[in-house]
Amino acid sequence: MRRWHQIHRIFLSRPERLLPTSALGITLLAFIALPSYSDAELTSFDTYNALQVFARLAPLVLGLGLTMLAGEFDLSVVGTYALGGMLAVQYGGTDWKLGIAAALGAGVVIGLTQGTIIARLGVPSMPVTLATYIALLGLTNALSGGLSKSYANPDVTLWLDKPVSEVFSPRSLMTIAAFVVIGSILGFSRWGREVRAIGSDRRASRVSGVQSDRVLIGLFVTSAVLAATSGALLNYSLGAANPDPGVQPLILAAAGALLGGVSLSGGHGSVAGLLAGALTVAFLAQIVTAAQLPTYTAQLFYAGLLALIVVVDAPGLQRAWTRGTIRITSRKVLT
């Protein structure tokens, strides 16, 4: 009984823990059972592919999720991702480090600018980051002349996607490392609590002594640096830079963050949850590819999933559920 109470307290009563674990568990089961409901055969290459999708999306999930944890939204991640990738290809042709440095520099400047406007001037993050997203796409197009640019350093391209232990690649391992580093920093330092605190109640956090402005600026810089670096690594890996990645990466990043248990109203969620959310989206994408389902199926599936998450999170639905349950049980007692 005591153990059940403990499980309930630390797991079942905490949707930010329950949701990512259940979503990842169900997705992995569906992935393992793939041959039983499709003609696909499951090989280590499928896992490798899923982790490559993970490497592409997970930094965006992490960046967006961290800002959501603090009660904000960084919609500019895809713009920063495109610009970082373009700068890396443009300046990293002869030396890949120069390209990475250019992407990182852009990320820091974008994050600092956005964070300062949002934290110090109190402007809502949604319009600021949306405007930045549009401006960055324009800037990326201007840099490339509206065309894709190729990256002529095959050594880097081959190394980044080289299989490691059959299922990993240096890129996916670097992405996992980013989660471990950021997760450890937030898990073992006071900053993790401060991020959740300002997402839950910013005024109370300030009164408690949390320097919420600095924390917010730090989060926006982290988000932009993750997006820019991820764009750089992706373009090195593809051997080309696309000036307009479209909105799908943003949609998948938002789905990953929500599946990772981050609350829309802020304050709830964790880096471990975001890792689970990103893995869920990546393995779902691989299931759709391996089972050769039409593209629209995946889109409808993601839309349904997002709707489900939002509905489950809705307080009105929870109230209605409780009321309904009590009415039914009361009727049973009366009869």
Binding site for another protein (CB under 8 A): 9, 13-14, 187-194, 196-197, 199-201, 203-211, 267-268, 318-320, 322-323, 326, 330
In the complex, minimum distance from the CB of residue 264 to another protein, in angstroms, rounded to a whole number: 13
Of 276, 239, 246, which is closest to residue 258 (Cα–Cα)? 276
| Cβ–Cβ under 8 Å, residues 204 and 296 | no
Neighbours of 268 (CB within 10 A): 21
Nearer to another protein by C-beta: 56 or 268? 268
Instruction: Please count the residues of the chain.
Output: 335
Smallest separation, CB 280 to another protein (Å): 23
Cβ closer to another protein: 209 or 294?
A: 209
- Smallest gap from Cβ 211 to another protein, in A, equals 6
Q: How far is the CB of 141 from another protein (least distance, A)?
A: 39
Shortest distance, position 13 Cβ to another protein, whole Å: 8
Calpha distance 185→192 (Å, rounded): 7
The separation between the first and the last C-alpha atoms of the chain, rounded to the nearest angstrom, is 31
**Residue 163 dihedral angles phi and psi, to the nearest 5°:** -65, 135
Q: Pick the closer one to another protein by CB: 14 or 22.
A: 14
Given the complex with another protein, which of 44 and 189 has the nearer CB atom? 189
**Cβ-based nearer residue to another protein, 18 or 251:** 18
User: In this complex, which beta carbon is closest to another protein, that of residue 13 or of residue 299?
Assistant: 13
SS3 281: helix
Residue 225 Cβ vs another protein, minimum distance, rounded to whole Å = 20
98, containing H or E segment: helix 96-121
Nearer to another protein, 33 or 181 (CB): 181
**Element spanning 19, H or E:** helix 15-32
State whether residue 239 is helix, strand or coil.
coil
Contact 241, 235 (CB under 8 A): yes
Residue 159, C-beta contacts closer than 8 angstroms, at least 6 positions apart? 170
Shortest CB 274 distance to another protein, Å: 16
Taking Cα atoms as reference points, which of 107, 102, 82 lies closest to residue 248?
A: 82
At closest approach, how far in Å is the CB of 90 from another protein? 38
Contacts of 120 (CB under 8 A, 6+ apart): 213
Q: Give me the least distance between CB of 253 and another protein, in Å please.
A: 22
| Nearer residue to another protein within complex by CB, 97 or 203 | 203
Instruction: Please say whether the dihedral angle defined by the alpha carbons of residues 287, 293, 295 and 300, taken in this order, is positive or negative.
Output: negative
Closest CB to another protein among 13 and 297? 13
- In b/e form, how buried is each residue of 307-327, taking b as 16+ CB within 10 angstroms? eebeeebeeeeeeeeeeeeee
